[in-house]
Structure 1
Amino acid sequence: MRLSPAWQRTTRLAFVSLGLLAALAGCGGDEVTVVPQKIAVGASPNGIAVRAADGAVFITDDQTSSVLSSPDGRTFAHYASVPVVAGQSNSLSQLSFADASTLMIERFGFGTASAVFSITGADTIAALSGPDPARRRLGLISIGSNRLLSTWFIKNGSNPPQGGLSLITYDPTAHTAAERDLLSGLGKPVGIAVSGDALYVSDQANNDIVKASLSALLGGSQAVVPSGTFVQINSPDLMAVDANGTLYTKCNATGLCRIAPDGTISVLANDFQDARGVAVDAPRGRLYAIDRAAGASGTSYVRTFPLN
């Protein structure tokens, strides 16, 4: 079959384009990487973290009470099991890197068995003794020097939830920890993000995000009530912040929003089943977000967005 001149030109252009992509992929410093936008995972994920050194992605899985890992955010496999509580549903919270290799994770605990664990390698996990197991834990972030910030709330019967933010200082060798409250008077605090001295906490019960000075809280002698709301936003969840101070979190029923340092809110995507954990991969210019299936029979995803 003889191709028309127009088809011949189109074919040549296609081969040139493919050859250019291959050449660029082989050049040092000019590698062409196709970033996945939506990857299905056989898990019930919530928290997510990215290892800055190599871009490896870690997610929690409530189906198996474990952490899964992927070298590139595409294919996930078992990394570490988190101890389960007999007769209690599995519910794991946020993941946070304490250093280049140590992951910290929380078990929600449903009012009786919350816990904070350190994971120093594949299936190498230890619980920290000291944090109050009656506190239902959701958000977690490392602030260095063996210190963590943890959001929590207590729920008694039909009473509204009462929550706060605490500082957990731990010994990584003895696995002991002391907990001190920094913020009080919150409803159901979930996500935590720190940008410079600015501390942000999302409160699902009050549909807002509060802001405080981290240094002032750490230097105080007792917990304080937030002085005001940074932004009002529906259904915020776990959070992440980029190098420019822009926050990312769930908004409304199906949205994922970004919040500029001046409080301006914009919708990044509005087709999520249930946005949960978010993580910034600054070296590779990506934002990862958990899109959790609404039901047990649905499919959950890890989604990626380019950072501006």
Structure 2
Amino acid sequence: MRFSTRFSTRFSPALLGTTRFALVSCGLIALLAGCGGDDVTAVPQRVAVSASPNGIAVRAADGAVFITDDQTNGVLSSPDGHTFSHYAGVPVVAGQANSLSQLSFADAGTLMIERFGFGTASAVFGITGVDTIAPLSGPNPARRRLGLISIGSNRLLSTWFIKSGSTPPQGGLSLITYDPTAHTAVERDLLTGLGKPVGVAVSGDTVYVSDQVNNTIVKSSLSALLGGSQAVAPSATLAQINSPDLMAVDASGTLYTKCNTSGLCRIAPDGTVSLLANDFQDARGVAVDAPRHLLYAIDRAGSTGGTSYVRIFPLN
């Protein structure tokens, strides 16, 4: 299944019928591989978690998986993505709902995490071990933070937006440069003019940002942004896609993110969109485990209750 970037991923009855046919004729594993005979060695897995997860990250060295949990306002860890236990707690904001955003491994194995903050108390924390956590002073707490990725040398890319009352959200992408010893940071805007930027991913010199309000994934040259003297608007749109969320990218430059109400999609480097799965309750964070050729995706239970899952897909 491939879709032109001129169209968003609203699937017609005829297209869904084609999907059902592909499931029967190719089998689920072959469908995930595009029915092209690629080597896929395992079936997708669905692991139930007693949590309200959002962000997810994989430690490349050993394959350990880390997820955020809004039930406990903390981070859970698993050596293999199947059995999760407490790893670290994040400070609670009195009178405010728990809402933790993306996770990202940074220099020296530090796990970085964002607190959404609801316009008053966003924050970025570094976790260096079990219940060893410290906030970074400096980033603007009025920015509602969602996406986070390390680009090395004690630098992070953070997506954020500001919203006041019923006015439309306005957001951007910033560079956070921090001192891991003093826990201080300086924030500089790179991209502006976005609606609600959520996910961020980097492949080579290209940085991608998903804008949930505008149903787009935009791209820019990272080196140009870092070398610029002021923030600029995105230089190009990679794809139109409904309701994108947090993102991950694999070694081929393929992006993975939520699409539509119940989908998880992949976006090729040329902007071609294809459906990986269409049975999610609410797709949230995604993470690529490159050494083990796996894609992890959060399937969060809806507001009416149910069970959340970590879903594991084999990558070619």
What's the TM-score once normalised by structure 1's chain length?
0.88
How many aligned positions are there? 276
1:189 aligns with 2:197: yes
1:254 aligns with 2:262: yes
Determine the structure 2 residue equivalent to 1:69: 77
Task: Report which stretch shifted further, 168-177 or 222-231.
Answer: 222-231
Per-residue Cα deviation, 1:24-59 (whole angstroms, up to 9, x for no partner): xxxxxxxxx977600000000000000000000000
Per-residue Cα deviation, 1:251-275 (whole angstroms, up to 9, x for no partner): 0000000001111100000000000
The 8 Å contact of residues 273 and 294 in structure 1, kept in 2 or not, is answered as yes
Structure 1 CA distance, aligned partners of 2:249 and 2:121?
29
Structure 2 CA distance, aligned partners of 1:187 and 1:295?
24
Amino acid at match of 2:264: L
Q: Write out aligned runs for 1:46-195 (5 A).
A: 46-195=54-203
Match of 2:302 among 289, 294, 300: 294
Q: Write out aligned runs for 1:205-220 (5 A).
A: 205-220=213-228
Which structure: larger Rg? Answer: 1
Q: Which runs of 5+ in 1 are unaligned?
A: 1-32
Determine the structure 1 residue equivalent to 2:38: none
Structure 2 CA distance, aligned partners of 1:295 and 1:70?
25
What's the TM-score once normalised by structure 2's chain length?
0.86
Per-residue Cα deviation, 1:218-238 (whole angstroms, up to 9, x for no partner): 000000011231110000000
**CA RMSD for the aligned pairs?**
1.1
Task: Report which stretch shifted further, 36-45 or 250-259.
Answer: 36-45
Q: Write out aligned runs for 1:20-39 (5 A).
A: 37-39=45-47
Task: Report which stretch shifted further, 263-272 or 94-103.
Answer: 94-103
Per-residue Cα deviation, 1:172-229 (whole angstroms, up to 9, x for no partner): 0000000000000000000000000010000000000000000000000000011231
Any idea what SS the aligned residue of 1:284 has?
A: coil
The 8 Å contact of residues 36 and 74 in structure 1, kept in 2 or not, is answered as no
Structure 2 CA distance, aligned partners of 1:160 and 1:36?
38
Q: Which runs of 5+ in 2 are unaligned?
A: 1-40
Structure 2 CA distance, aligned partners of 1:228 and 1:52?
31
Displacement of 1:133 after TM fit?
0.1
Structure 2 CA distance, aligned partners of 1:225 and 1:253?
28
After the TM superposition, list the runs of 4 or more consecutive aligned residues in structure 1 that deviate by more than 6 angstroms: 33-36
Structure 1 CA distance, aligned partners of 2:55 and 2:296?
11
Structure 1 CA distance, aligned partners of 2:236 and 2:60?
33
Determine the structure 1 residue equivalent to 2:35: none
Query: Which structure carries more relative contact order (alpha carbon 8 Å, separation 6+)?
Result: 2
